[in-house]
């Protein structure tokens, strides 16, 4: 955890004013740049010192055997792990024969700034070598949001006090030495030099390396070109071997003279294309980037982000930290998905190798909601990736004795990568999460072509899974047994409420989509009998409820379990999974992350139809003292429902925890990469929590309420070709249509229409006062 303020609190940037080597790995994640296809961790330009070197291409992974003490039928045999591909960031520097290494000499000044409006990482450094020579180094780095294959850096050196010999070595390096990973030694072995050389080239200012993974058979090509500018004379030379290509630039500079290198790096990978084709691909990408030039790449990046912020910005008045954090969050969520283009959005994005680079259900339920209303094209691409992995999901369902598609709990290539089946295979809710995301996207965009060509097949195959996984009892009630819901401390449960309600929504959505697209449904083999069976299962699904205490159960029988002994659980025993056996966690009332509470948000229409506000408040109050938030996914969900039930101070505290998850390293693992879902949850806490934003069929409804700490909150949403701005004050909300046709929305249950004639303002009623629920000991929201 970062206990001292490391980053200056500024509305449009994250600025580090001093270099703390103990926090270098965390800052490398915070300062990572990505476009969803390429990921560059925020390593120092010179490569060393570093916490974790990281250059990633979305989808590039290596295979390794999964460990089992005992074999079992249906266990996945092969794991997938993201690998560090060829590093094109490197610009090593020698100053009068002294390596520029910040661990030696004297660091006079070091500042790095992530500019959220320009999409660049800027660095300024002043350093005195052990021999007494002082230089200034400036660099600007970007990963292009407009040219998918391109990343670039401008690096400038200037002597301060004496004539100085400067040597810059610009390199491409493959199979870098990495810190030993914790855990399975077989994974570590698979990641030792995972790339086999196929081609190396150095010709003038141009460098290129082509490699192939040993087991997964993926070919990776990286090429670089350079523009060198100086007022002094220079000499250059280039060389290459199997794993290194290098351009060396030498000059002697007087004080005030500068040596500037603009390095452009092109990336590509394929599991099918030949070596010559991959070489040509990255050379073509370099040619396109050269046409723009460095200034053009920066201008394109600024224009892209100007457009994004115009339709996605969230303004927070009254809390500067949360203002900075939500823009930081939106920027990284955008980076994770902007150019992923039919690839997964991993839980860490492309900011680190945590979770082995896998994608989970986090994508559909936390990340895609943000992108649906801010960058919807990225959502369509992410869901097309899920459609493309349907063959693997169908095979997995067949292996499990089920129909339809069983999507993996964790994956890179679409196959199951979880070796622990209670938290992996049994978490079938991922299928409904994918369906939910497809329905959400279609409702928010009106993209009927997508619904017909992509969403329908996802809905049909997931509906078939639920119909075969569940069963009707002798009373005709539909049950889904032996599954794991979002709460990973309650595995192999009966009738998990979240799973059952999400399955219900999935089944009904599939039946309705088949009615709208009968020809495509027939092509998928859906007939009236199958569609009717889906509806019947949906309408009769069991939702467990404890009449005695008046709350919905997280799963059948949960409220009759013994409560966890919180009084004898010390602060140093969290997260519980690292100190207690899962056997004990599974049979007690203790919750890792919000489950029933999440259901009240994601399936709010069902709760609205079957419950009053007091029932929802009772549910929330019951589960709060049991939820220990050993997952970064929990705080944002609790923030949303806390706001809904009128606990605005508690909602504010949870929103702050989600917002500062990485900027303050609250879970002590930001070094492995950012928590992209928690970052997305910052938006969720503000927009769905305090904004009260909910999708209502093909419309939007709002129940805004502002915490005392905020004087004003404003946000923008993209919805069916419109851009809507919502501004919330202490006692009123204002809705302004910035573009598009008139739109009818609901404010606290009342319909209103916004159009181009001007803003519409409505009063915000005060929430009903209720006792604030307790949290488990030692687990109150992280105070700042």
Rounded to 10°, the helix 497-516/456-469 angle is: 130
761 phi, psi to nearest 5 deg? -115, 140
As annotated, the binding site includes 361-362, 592-593
Tell me if residue 601 falls in helix, strand or coil.
Answer: helix
The CA distance from 752 to 735, in Å, is 10
509 phi, psi to nearest 5 deg? -65, -40
List all residues 6 or more positions away from 139 whose beta carbon is below 8 Å from its beta carbon.
Answer: 45, 91, 122, 123, 153, 154, 155, 156
Give how far the C-alpha of residue 647 lies from the chain's centroid of Cα atoms, to the nearest Å.
28
Cα torsion through 377, 379, 382, 383, rounded to 10: -110
Catalytic residue among 46, 158, 381, 488: 488
H helices present in 35-190, as ranges:
185-190
3-state DSSP of 281-346: HHHHHHHHHHHHHHHHHHHHHHHHHHHHHHHHCEEEECCHHHHHHHHHHHHHHHHHHCCCCCCCCC
Residue 488 appears among annotated catalytic residues: yes
List all residues 6 or more positions away from 620 whose beta carbon is below 8 Å from its beta carbon.
Answer: 597, 600, 641, 642, 645, 647, 773
Question: Is residue 261 within a helix (H) or strand (E), and if so which, with residue range?
Answer: strand 259-270
Question: Can you read off the two tokens belonging to residue 311?
Answer: 């339709």
Measured from the Cβ of residue 128, the count of other Cβ atoms closer than 10 Å reads 16
As annotated, the binding site for substrate includes 361-362, 592-593
In terms of Cα–Cα distance, which of 445, 458, 483, 328 is closest to 718? 445
Question: Is residue 739 within a helix (H) or strand (E), and if so which, with residue range?
Answer: strand 732-739
Question: Would you please indicate which residues are annotated as catalytic (active-site) residues?
Answer: 488
């Amino acid at each position: 955890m970062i206990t001292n303020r490391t980053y200056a609190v500024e509305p449009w940037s994250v600025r580090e004013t001093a270099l703390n080597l103990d926090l270098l790995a965390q800052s490398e994640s915070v300062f990572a740049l990505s476009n969803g296809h390429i990921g560059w961790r925020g390593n120092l330009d010179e490569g060393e010192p570093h916490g974790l070197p990281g250059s990633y291409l979305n989808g590039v992974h290596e295979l390794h055997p999964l460990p089992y003490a005992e074999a079992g039928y249906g266990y996945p045999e092969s794991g997938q792990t993201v690998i560090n591909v060829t590093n094109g960031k490197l610009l090593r520097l020698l100053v009068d024969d002294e390596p520029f290494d910040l661990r030696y000499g004297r660091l006079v000044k070091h500042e790095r700034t992530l500019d959220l409006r320009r999409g660049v990482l800027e660095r300024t450094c002043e350093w005195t070598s052990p021999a007494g020579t002082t230089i200034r180094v400036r660099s600007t780095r970007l990963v292009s949001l407009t040219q998918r294959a391109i990343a670039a850096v401008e690096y400038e050196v200037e002597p301060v006090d004496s004539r100085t010999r400067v040597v810059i070595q610009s390199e491409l390096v493959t199979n870098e030495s990495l810190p030993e990973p914790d855990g399975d030694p077989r994974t570590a072995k698979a990641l030792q030099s995972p790339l086999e050389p196929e081609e190396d080239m150095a010709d003038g200012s141009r460098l290129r390396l082509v490699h192939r993974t040993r087991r997964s058979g993926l070919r990776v090509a990286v090429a670089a070109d350079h523009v060198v500018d100086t007022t002094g004379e220079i000499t250059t030379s280039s060389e290459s071997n199997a794993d290194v290509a290098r351009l060396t630039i030498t000059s002697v500079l007087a004080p005030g003279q500068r040596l500037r290198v603009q390095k452009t790096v092109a990336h590509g990978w394929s599991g099918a294309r030949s070596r010559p084709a991959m070489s040509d691909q990255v050379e073509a990408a370099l040619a396109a980037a050269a046409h723009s030039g460095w200034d053009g790449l920066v201008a394109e990046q600024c224009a892209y982000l100007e457009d994004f912020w115009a339709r996605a910005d969230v303004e927070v008045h009254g809390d500067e930290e949360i203002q900075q954090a939500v823009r930081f969050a939106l920027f990284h969520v955008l980076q994770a998905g902007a150019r992923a283009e039919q690839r997964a959005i991993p839980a860490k994005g492309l900011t680190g190798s945590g979770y082995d680079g896998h994608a989970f259900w986090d994508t559909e339920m936390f990340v895609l909601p943000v992108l649906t209303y801010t960058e919807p094209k990225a959502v369509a691409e992410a869901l097309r990736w899920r459609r493309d992995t349907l063959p693997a999901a169908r095979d997995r369902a067949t292996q499990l004795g089920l129909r339809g598609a069983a999507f993996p709990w964790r994956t890179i290539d679409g196959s199951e990568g979880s070796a622990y089946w209670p938290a992996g295979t049994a978490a079938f809710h991922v299928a409904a999460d994918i369906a939910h995301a497809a329905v959400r996207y279609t409702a928010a965009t009106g993209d009927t072509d997508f619904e017909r060509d992509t969403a329908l097949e996802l809905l049909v195959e997931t509906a078939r899974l639920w119909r075969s996984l569940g069963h009707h009892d002798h009373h005709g009630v539909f049950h889904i047994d032996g599954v794991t819901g979002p709460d990973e401390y309650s595995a192999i449960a009966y009738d998990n409420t979240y799973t059952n309600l999400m399955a219900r929504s999935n089944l009904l959505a599939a039946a309705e989509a088949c009615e709208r697209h009968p020809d495509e449904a027939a092509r998928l083999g859906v007939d009236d009998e199958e569609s009717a069976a889906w509806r019947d299962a949906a309408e009769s699904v069991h939702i467990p409820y404890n009449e005695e205490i008046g709350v919905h159960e997280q799963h059948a029988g949960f409220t009759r379990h013994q409560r966890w002994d919180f009084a004898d659980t010390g602060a140093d025993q969290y997260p519980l999974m690292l100190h207690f056996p899962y056997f004990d966690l599974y049979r007690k009332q203790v919750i890792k992350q919000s489950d029933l509470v999440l259901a009240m948000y994601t399936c709010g229409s069902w709760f609205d139809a079957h419950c009053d506000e007091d029932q929802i408040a009772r549910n929330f109050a019951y589960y709060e003292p049991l939820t220990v938030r050993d997952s970064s996914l929990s705080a944002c969900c609790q923030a949303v429902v806390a706001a809904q039930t009128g606990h605005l101070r508690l909602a504010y505290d949870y929103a702050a925890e989600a917002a500062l998850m990485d900027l303050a390293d609250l879970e002590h693992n930001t070094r492995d990469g950012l928590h992209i879902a928690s970052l997305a949850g910052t938006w969720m806490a503000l927009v769905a929590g305090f904004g009260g934003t909910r999708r209502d069929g093909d419309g939007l409804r709002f129940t805004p309420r502002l915490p005392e700490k905020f004087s004003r909150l404003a946000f923008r949403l993209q919805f069916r070709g419109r851009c809507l701005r919502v501004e919330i004050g202490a006692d009123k909300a204002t809705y302004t249509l910035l573009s598009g046709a008139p739109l009818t929305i609901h404010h606290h249950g009342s319909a209103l229409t916004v159009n181009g004639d001007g803003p519409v303002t409505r009063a915000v009623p005060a929430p009903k006062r209720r006792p604030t629920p307790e949290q488990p000991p030692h687990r109150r929201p992280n105070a700042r």
